[in-house]
Structure 1
Amino acid sequence: MNVDSIRYVYLIGIGGIGMSALARYFRHLGCVVAGYDKTETALTKQLVSEGIPVSYADDFSVVDDAFKTVDKHTLVIYTPAVPAELNILNRFHGLGHTLFKRSQVLGLISRDRFTIAVAGTHGKTTTSTLIAHILKDSGYDCSAFLGGISTNYQSNILFSDNNVIVVEADEYDRSFLTLYPDIAVVTSADADHLDIYGDKDHLHESFRLFLGQLQDDGVGIVKSGLPFEATIRYSATESADAFADNIRIVAGEFYFDYVWSEGRIPSVHLGVPGTHNVENAVAAITVARQLGIDTGQIVRALSSFSGVKRRFEYVIKSDSAVYIDDYAHHPEELRAFLSAVKQLYPDRALTVVFQPHLYTRTRDFADEFAAVLALADTLLLMDIYPARELPIPGVNSRMLLEKIAVADKHLINAQGVLDYVRHKRPPLVVTVGAGDIDLLVEPMKAILEHA
């Protein structure tokens, strides 16, 4: 498949963060683009406003005939998250189309470019967005496919005229094995996606294969402690080839020194909070140094970095109320996020609203979730968001709730959360999860802003 010959693109599961980036990419190239998703969201509404029609009915008759022609000018992309029995998916198959996964298309797009790929079970979205921001802000420039909406650019895709591309490399379904990077970053490799991999050893093997696909003169930048070969190891908590030292909070802002064998960059100000984000920044600085970007430009970019939507995103920040929303859905992500919140606000009682994501993940990490959620002073636990999965007998939020050592804990639905917030008006509240918990953000904001 030659992506330069494509004129018509249809995306099945267009509302996903990665799929929507591809939709915008091909629209930018002048292609006719449309797609299907099962539910309307803020993101699909935004795509429609940009001239990309989205259908919410699994009905092949509503697909424009322009996308049904089987030739070199038509591309049909799907996400593995859609069910195999989807009518639209199977009708395209029946016509004789070769359907491409999102990851395969990313591989084709990046094939002839200088590729910086960021992988990891968590941390990859912020790290890839940090790298892209440094390259953009410094004038080095890049295109980028990001796994979240950059707050600086209000998009999950960035364009440039040069040959450099930053790609978030997704380990789900071994998607990142379509990439052959010049620089590869691995931020983490905690057990996850065990419905795909079975166990941690097979997950780690996939990361080794990813790093093995580096170009001959490529650079592997790997978090210290991970069991993979690396050109450079980095850390925010221990000495390494590149590491953060003297991490401190000044007036609610994070500062650190970046240290490597040849020197130190003192007093780097990071525009987003958390030691985990300091670690992400160390990786991003290390990539920028590999590209020869000036130290002053790197420091300036880190200070102006305003984060990623739903990654430690302040919804309200006032004397009377602090409300933060975050995408964390793995125990280690939760630990990093909640620890950062408590570090910034040690004197405020913390109310956590959490929506577990996937039955398998809840089952596989129930004890780890229970330990991390015990950091809350008050816990409002919602039902599991199933996404692509069917229920598993005995796996539910009540099972998880019983394991959590928090005195003030409640199993609650969305309306119950809003009623609780309206009645209790917690001084520090967070919403956390990867499902549809983000639908609570605007109603909770309205409640807390109303005196």
Structure 2
Amino acid sequence: MDLNNIHRVYFIGIGGIGMSAIARYFNEKGVKVSGYDRTSTVLTKQLEEEGMQIHYTDDINLLDKAANLVVYTPAIPANHTELGWYREHGYEVVKRSDVLQEITRTLFAITVAGTHGKTTVSTMIAHLLTDSGYGCNAFLGGISVNYNKNFWSSDKQVAVIEADEYDRSFLKLSPDIAVLTAMDADHLDIYGTPEAMEEAFIQYTHNIKPNGTLIARFGLHRDRELNATKKLLYSLQNDAANAYAANIRMKNGGYEFDVMQQDWMIDNLELHIGGMHNVENAVAAITVAHLLGISADKIRAAMASFKGIKRRFEYVVKNDRQVYIDDYAHHPEELRALITSAKALFPGRKTTVIFQPHLFSRTRDLADGFAEALSIADEVILLPIYPARELPIEGVTSEMIANKITAPVQVMPKEEVLKWLQSNPSPLLITAGAGDIDQLKEPIKNIVQ
């Protein structure tokens, strides 16, 4: 696949967060971009405003028959009419990961993988490189608040790529610098066992280019099997790691801290987003920036100007009376970090968490972990499971989690949540989940304000 010889590209599932980043990449290169998605969203409307043609009906009369590349997401069902037509008629049909594979082959590639933290770390790295003037092409799995998009380009032949473990797609990438944030069990519908998933992350490190660097979180399981010519370990505060944070102070819902390494340090860093886990994410990003030779002053200034990612510890409302945080957390460890950090930043406030489980298989496999993490809250509201790409599994419902939670808990549909909140205010409110719970964000904001 020669990306420089693509003149028309068609996307099946163009509105996905990863797909839309690649669509924007081609669009900025002057390629004719069009595509299909199931529903119109804020993101697809933005793509249309940027000049891409999108339709929302699976109809071969609407697709681009002149396309010389077709890109599809693995979330698209195998019986999709348009996908089948392109295959039957001999078009070049590739997954999103195949395009990213070619990008990592031709550019200096910084990839970020891990069960949690990859969107934040990759966005932090891309911002540090951009704000400092170093430059990069950013392919992200979330919407950066600073840039209000998930892709931006640069003449610099450097790419920062969020490496998605779903469907094993990240194993196609060949990075120059690889970051690995976590190896906790997830996507067991794809991998089958936690051990098989760990094997995939280990293989990811074996795909690093010769003389490349691995930057891995300190204390990962099976860390001795991670492979790279050069390996650096980062940590929140463990001084046995190569890089770690010290002198952490909480301030105005964010943090001040220093980053220490054996032969360098950067003091008086500011991070204006919440979540102690985001301090650790910042250590990883800063380690990459330092490795690329970006100065301490530029790193410090860029970190202070970082505004975060939408739906990643996003302060929707923050004042003396009320704090409302929205987050994409959809794994027990993400929920644990989210709730623990919020309670530490705003001690003494009653904490209400509204959580929408994502996928029947994930709920079944991780119900105990979800219940344990959610029990940290003072009060829990569970929405019905968001099915995404799955059909229901008998006996798997939100009650499966609710029955194990030790805090007061209720299960209710989205439309009842807004009524309930009007008579049950909470000084520290959190909405979390990877489904369509974000549709509640603006109505809840209006209620709490």
| TM-score for the superposition, normalised by structure 2 | 0.96
User: Which of 146, 151, 156 matches 2:140?
Assistant: 146
**Which of residues 174, 177, 186 in structure 1 aligns to 2:180?**
186
Aligned-partner Cα distance in 2 for 1:45–1:343? 38
What is aligned with 2:8?
A: 8
DSSP-derived class of the 1:267 partner? strand
Partner residue in 2 for 1:177: 171
The size of the alignment, in residue pairs, is 442
Structure 1 residue aligned with 2:71: 77
Q: Which residue of 2 aligns with 1:368?
A: 369
Distance 1:170 1:444 in 2: 31
Shift of 1:104: 0.7
Deviations 1:97-137 (A, max 9, x none): 23111011111122111111111011000000111111111
Q: In the alignment, which residue of structure 2 is the partner of 1:349? A: 350
Counterpart for residue 70 of structure 1: none
Residue in 2 that maps onto 1:215: 209
How far apart in 2 are the matches of 1:43 and 1:251? 31
> Alpha-carbon deviation of 1:275?
1.5
* Contact 2:325-2:429 within 8 A present in 1 as well: yes
Deviation at 1:43, TM superposition (A): 0.8
Secondary structure of 2:403's match? helix
Could you tell me which runs of 5 or more consecutive residues in structure 2 were left unpaired when the two chains were aligned: none
How is 1:37-436 mapped onto 2 (pairs within 5 angstroms)? 37-67=37-67, 74-226=68-220, 227-228=222-223, 229=226, 231-239=231-239, 240-407=241-408, 409-436=409-436
CA distance in structure 1 between the partners assigned to 2:98 and 2:245 by the alignment? 36
Q: Distance in 2 between matches of 1:107 and 1:65?
A: 25
In the alignment, the residues of structure 2 paired with residue 253 and residue 273 of structure 1 have an alpha-carbon distance, to the nearest angstrom, of 5
1:264 Cα shift?
2.7
Tell me, yes or no, if the aligned pair for 2:10 and 2:64 is still in contact at 8 Å. Answer: no
1:389 to partner: Cα distance: 0.5
- The alpha carbon displacement at 1:267 in A equals 2.3
Residue 335 (structure 1) shift: 0.8
Shift of 1:251: 3.7
**Runs of 4+ with deviation above 4 angstroms:** none
Note the C-alpha offset of 1:25: 0.8
Residues 60, 85 of structure 2: 8 Å contact kept: yes
- CA offset at residue 252 of structure 1? 3.2
The separation in 1 between residues aligned to 2:391 and 2:246, in whole angstroms, is 46
- 1:232 maps to a residue whose letter is L
Which deviates further from its counterpart, 421-430 or 197-206?
421-430
Q: Deviations over 1:195-225 (max 9, x none)?
A: 1111111111111111111111101111011
Deviation for aligned residue 1:403: 1.1
Contact 2:126 2:160 in 1 (8 A): yes
5+ long unaligned stretches in structure 1: 68-73
Tell me how far apart the structure 1 counterparts of residues 273 and 323 of structure 2 sit (CA, whole Å).
15
User: In structure 2, the residue corresponding to 1:365 is in which secondary structure?
Assistant: helix
Residue matched to 1:71: none
Show the counterpart of 1:32: 32
> 1:66 deviation in Å?
2.8
Please state how far the C-alpha of 1:266 moved relative to its aligned partner. Answer: 2.1
Percent identity of the aligned residues?
Answer: 53
Amino acid corresponding to residue 363 of structure 2 in structure 1: T
**Cα distance in 1 between the residues matched to 2:253 and 2:337:** 17
Residue by residue over 1:53-94, the C-alpha shift from the partner in whole angstroms, topping out at 9 and shown as x without a partner, is 221111111224333xxxxxx110001011111111111111
CA deviation profile, 1:12-39 (whole Å, cap 9, x unmatched) = 1111100001111111111111111111
How far apart, CA to CA, are the structure 1 residues paired with 2:254 and 2:436? 30
Distance 1:225 1:426 in 2: 36
Quote the Cα distance in structure 2 between the aligned partners of 1:232 and 1:399.
Answer: 41
> What is the distance in 1 between the residues matched to 2:410 and 2:365?
22
Confirm or deny: 8 A CA contact 2:14 2:37 kept in the other structure.
yes
Following the alignment from structure 2 to structure 1, what is the Cα–Cα distance between the partners of residues 94 and 65?
19
The corresponding residue for 2:21 is 21
Amino acid at match of 1:203: M
For the residue of structure 1 that corresponds to 2:255, the secondary structure is: strand
Q: Aligned with 1:65: secondary structure?
A: coil
Q: 2:236 and 2:322 mapped to 1: Cα distance?
A: 30
Q: 1:64 and 1:80 mapped to 2: Cα distance? A: 20
Task: Tell me the alpha carbon deviations over residues 338-394 of structure 1, each in whole angstroms, 9 at most, x when there is no partner.
Answer: 111101111110111100000010000000000001012111100000000111001
What is the rounded CA distance, in whole Å, between the counterparts of 2:124 and 2:94 in structure 1? 29
What do residues 236-284 of structure 1 show as CA deviations (whole Å, max 9, x unaligned)? 0312111112222134331112111113322211122221101111111
